[in-house]
Amino acid sequence: MKTLRLLRNIALLFILLMGLLAWKPGLGVSQAAGGKGCFFKPGYNCTFTTNNGGNCQDHPCQKGESCYDEGCVSLKGPF
């Protein structure tokens, strides 16, 4: 029973992750062009457009507006 419960929880986390990527496409690496994408960055709102090869812009959150804590982050890793 514990094994089935563990498998159920893993499947639920996978479904939630896929839903999050569908809801916020900027989180997916494949959406990013030019080496930047919208990822976790506290205190920022990020917009990503796919026209002209992709464009990532962020701006600091203002008091009173909703803040998504996402900003432009370079996707280039250490490799």
- Whether 79 maps to a domain, the answer reads no
Give me the number of domains the chain comprises.
1
Domain extent for 39: 2-74
Q: Which amino acid is at 79?
A: F
Binned at pLDDT 50, 70 and 90, residue 77 comes out as low
Based on C-alpha coordinates, what's the Rg of the chain?
A: 16
Beta bridge pairs of residue 70: 40
pTM for the whole thing? 0.47
The pLDDT value given to residue 51? 67
Q: What is the pLDDT of residues 38-50, one digit of tens each?
A: 888 999 999 887 7
Q: What is the pLDDT of residues 12-58, one digit of tens each?
A: 999 888 877 766 655 555 444 457 888 889 999 998 877 666 678 89
- Whether 70 maps to a domain, the answer reads yes
List the one residue out of 67, 22, 64, 10 whose CA is nearest residue 44.
67
The pLDDT value given to residue 7? 92
